[in-house]
């Protein structure tokens, strides 16, 4: 939305203040504001992908760190790679790069914090050279990323870089005017190398397992296709710490804009989130970093058990609720988990399909963690839409759900709920509607391919599984396919998703 259309959602709080540098000192004490001199901030971090999650998570931690320590070296310069990022650039620019974070508690209370660590926002399509120069600047210590799972440009079935992407072909032919992150990182790192500077750390903040390892492999592979010397330098000198990130952050709505004003802040694009937040980071940086551990981050030697736990329990459970709940006609996560049948299915998925294949997680009691997840899902003030959860399901299913299926198939473990979710996603992708006939918004780069494969399932029940980029080789497992075909036959015969779910739960009880 444009800033104008967002501001039309304003409420009627005449005492609310517009958000800019000149009003910061005038907000009431009930609203937390930056306690540091924003004009003296240096942008030690350049961040690509300034969406809601970055603003509720990494920027939140960084703002708290600056407030706590007074260290002004860690301002964040935002980068938007797409024309679609222009709206957030305009919103932030008009507010001196300030925004409000609305933390919604289960009891109905909302805490308001104004985040001040953003210093600038560059839109890459307007000036690619400015973005490359900003990344290459000596004061830049970290280039961080929230570019979503799809932004890593790899084939999930092989884990290899996708050189067939038209934007990759463009970037290789136009190194000074790239479209994707790889071209920008490569150009900026090359300038650092040629000027004799140390490289910056590349820090992923995405829900991708071993996210640092993945961006390292993809970037080095990309550069190796045209400059082996630079590729070797990046592989040997640049750090790519893995990290696990977690905070439920729904998309901003007009109601959130009105709520911000009711609370005293006129903000064209506030961010809402839950109180819970977690950030586990491997301490592998080639430059300086903020001491985020002073404000709650966990710094560890190996993030693997934490990220596997989170992706397979939280993210996969989101996908379970998103797909099954959408077919039922529910609209939000909270609405879905409030249904005792869905709550039982999610609990069984976590207990019987995920937990048995998880390693021990240092310092974490898995039973407590799962109880906390259910409570977080049920927060009545976090209206996290199922449409958001189901967006880009192709990359989410391949990352969050398929690995659990594969591991259970190897050990003969339980997998009925995950199997049902895949079958339900097939019907979802085919009809784009709930079982009650409500239209479902499908936002997926593979939407057309998914719909074609799903529609073919009416004649060939396994057609949807014939997508190795998503499902790998699970179609070769006879027991999985037999169960899947049963679910497909039930769903396409119009059997209610609740009835099938109850049958799955009964089969668990019988074991």
Q: How far is CA 121 from the centre of its chain?
A: 20
**Residues 162 and 153 sit within 8 Å (Cβ to Cβ):** yes
**Cα distances (angstroms) measured from residue 441 to each of 318, 328, 376, 391:** 17, 14, 25, 8
b/e map of 301-332 (b: 16 or more CB within 10 Å)? eebbbbbbbbbbbbbbbbbbbbbbbbbbbbbb
Contacts 24+ apart (CB under 8 A), 87-90: 87/1, 87/2, 87/3, 87/269, 88/50, 88/51, 88/121, 88/269, 89/121, 89/123, 90/2, 90/3
Token pair 């790192």: residue: 189
- Which range (51-60, 203-212, 215-224, 264-273) has the least confidence? 203-212
pLDDT of residue 155: 84
Lowest mean pLDDT among 2-6, 46-50, 147-151, 328-332: 2-6
* Mean pLDDT of all residues in 351-373: 94
Mean pLDDT of the 207-229 span: 96
Q: Tell me if 272 sits within 8 A of 382, measured CB to CB.
A: yes
What's 403-455 look like in SS3?
HHHHHHHHHCCCCHHHHHHHHHHHHHHHHCECCCCCECCCCCCCHHHHHHHHH
pLDDT value of position 4:
45
The helix (H) or strand (E) run that includes residue 218 is: helix 211-224
- pLDDT reported for residue 268: 97
Dist. CA 403–CA 153, nearest whole Å: 18
Q: How many CB atoms lie within 10 A of CB 465?
A: 26
Nearest to 406 by CA among 345, 490, 465: 465
- Say if CB 450 and CB 383 are below 8 A apart: no
Summarize pLDDT for 42-83 with one digit per residue, the tens.
999 999 999 999 999 999 999 999 999 999 999 999 999 999
Residue 204 pLDDT exceeds 50: yes
Average pLDDT over residues 256-271: 97
Average pLDDT, the chain: 95
- State the angle between helix axes of 416-431 and 497-510 in degrees (0 to 180), rounded to the nearest 10: 170
> Residue 393: helix, strand or coil by DSSP?
helix
Beta carbons of 207 and 307 less than 8 angstroms apart = no
Q: How far apart are CA 426 and CA 465, in angstroms?
A: 9
Structure-token pair, residue 370: 């799962």
CB 353 within 8 A of CB 418: yes
CA-to-CA distance for 381 and 419, rounded, in angstroms? Answer: 31
Q: Torsion over CA of 234, 236, 237 and 243, rounded to 10 degrees?
A: 80
SS3 of residue 480 by DSSP: helix
CA distances from 23 to 31, 94, 114, 124 (A): 12, 13, 11, 30
SS (H, E, C) 335-381: HHHCCHHHHHHHHHHHHHHHHHHCCCCCCCCHHHHHHHHHHHHCCCC
Gap between the Cα atoms of 52 and 61, Å rounded: 14
Question: Looking up tokens 């989101």, which residue turns up?
Answer: 318
Kindly tell me if the per-residue pLDDT of 129 is higher than 80.
Answer: yes
- The whole-number pLDDT of residue 113 equals 98
Q: What percent of the chain has pLDDT over 90?
A: 92
In this prediction, residue 5 carries a pLDDT of: 52
Q: What percent of the chain is modeled with pLDDT above 70?
A: 97
Helix 211-224 vs helix 181-194: angle between axes, to the nearest 10 degrees? 70
pLDDT in tens, 299-345: 999 999 999 999 999 999 999 999 999 999 999 999 999 999 999 99
Q: Cα-Cα-Cα-Cα dihedral of 179, 181, 183, 187, to 10°?
A: 120
Which of 14-18, 64-68, 192-196, 276-280 bottoms out in mean pLDDT, i.e. has the lowest?
Answer: 14-18
Q: What is the 3-state secondary structure (H, E, C) of 453-473?
A: HHHHCCCCCCHHHCCHHHHCC
> Would you call 245 helix, strand, or coil by DSSP?
strand
pLDDT of residue 480: 97
pLDDT at 9: 52
Residue 418: CB atoms within 10 A of its CB come to: 21
pLDDT grade for 235, boundaries at 50, 70 and 90: very high
pTM: 0.88
Across 25-38, average pLDDT: 96
d(C-alpha 205, C-alpha 231), whole Å: 23
Strands 160-161 and 118-123: unpaired
pLDDT at 209: 87
Q: Which token pair is 363?
A: 């310092």
Tell me the pLDDT band of 419, cut-offs 50, 70 and 90.
very high
Using the predicted structure, report yes or no on whether residue 3 has a pLDDT greater than 70: no
């Amino acid at each position: 939305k444009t800033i104008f259309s967002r501001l039309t959602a304003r409420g009627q709080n005449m005492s609310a203040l517009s958000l800019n540098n000149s009003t910061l000192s005038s907000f009431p004490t009930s609203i937390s504001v930056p306690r540091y001199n924003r004009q003296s901030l240096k942008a030690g971090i350049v961040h690509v992908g300034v969406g809601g999650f970055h603003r509720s998570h990494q920027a939140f931690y960084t703002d708290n760190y600056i407030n706590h320590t007074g260290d002004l070296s860690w301002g964040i310069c935002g980068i938007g790679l797409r024309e679609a990022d222009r709206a957030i650039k305009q919103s932030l620019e008009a507010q001196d790069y300030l925004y409000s974070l609305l933390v919604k508690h289960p009891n109905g209370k909302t805490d308001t914090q104004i985040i001040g660590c953003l210093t600038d926002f560059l839109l890459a399509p307007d000036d690619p050279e400015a973005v490359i120069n900003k990344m290459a600047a000596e004061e830049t210590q970290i280039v961080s990323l929230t570019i979503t799972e799809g932004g890593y440009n790899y084939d999930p079935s092989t884990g290899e870089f996708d050189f067939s992407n038209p934007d990759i072909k463009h970037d290789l032919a136009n190194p000074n005017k790239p479209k994707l992150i790889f071209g920008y990182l490569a150009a900026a790192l090359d300038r650092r190398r040629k000027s004799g500077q140390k490289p910056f750390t590349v820090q992923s903040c995405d829900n991708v397992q071993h996210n640092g390892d993945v961006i390292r492999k993809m970037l080095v592979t990309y550069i190796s296709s045209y400059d082996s010397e630079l590729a070797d330098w990046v592989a040997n000198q640049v750090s790519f710490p893995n990290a696990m990130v977690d905070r439920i952050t729904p998309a901003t709505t007009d109601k959130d804009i009105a709520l911000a004003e009711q609370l005293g802040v006129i903000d064209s694009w506030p961010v809402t989130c839950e109180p819970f937040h977690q950030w586990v980071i491997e301490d592998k940086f080639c430059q300086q970093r903020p001491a985020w551990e002073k404000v709650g981050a966990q710094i560890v030697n190996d993030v693997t058990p934490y990220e596997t736990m989170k992706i397979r329990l939280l993210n996969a459970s989101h996908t379970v609720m998103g797909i099954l709940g959408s077919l039922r006609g529910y609209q939000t996560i909270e609405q879905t988990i409030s249904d005792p049948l869905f709550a039982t299915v999610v609990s069984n998925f976590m207990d019987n399909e995920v937990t048995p294949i998880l390693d021990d997680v240092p310092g974490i009691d898995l039973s407590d963690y799962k109880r906390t997840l259910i409570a977080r899902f049920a927060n009545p003030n976090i209206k996290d839409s199922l449409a958001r959860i189901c967006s880009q399901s192709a990359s989410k299913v391949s990352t969050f759900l398929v690995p659990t299926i594969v591991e259970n198939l190897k050990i003969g473990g339980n997998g009925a709920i995950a199997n049902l979710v895949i079958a339900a996603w097939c019907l979802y992708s085919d009809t784009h509607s709930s079982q009650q006939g409500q239209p479902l918004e499908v936002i997926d780069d593979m939407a057309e391919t998914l719909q074609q494969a799903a529609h073919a399932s009416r004649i060939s029940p396994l057609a949807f599984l014939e997508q190795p980029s998503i499902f790998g080789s699970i179609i070769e497992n006879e027991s999985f396919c037999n169960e899947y075909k049963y679910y497909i036959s039930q769903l396409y015969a119009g059997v209610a998703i609740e009835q099938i779910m109850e049958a799955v739960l009964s089969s668990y009880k019988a074991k």
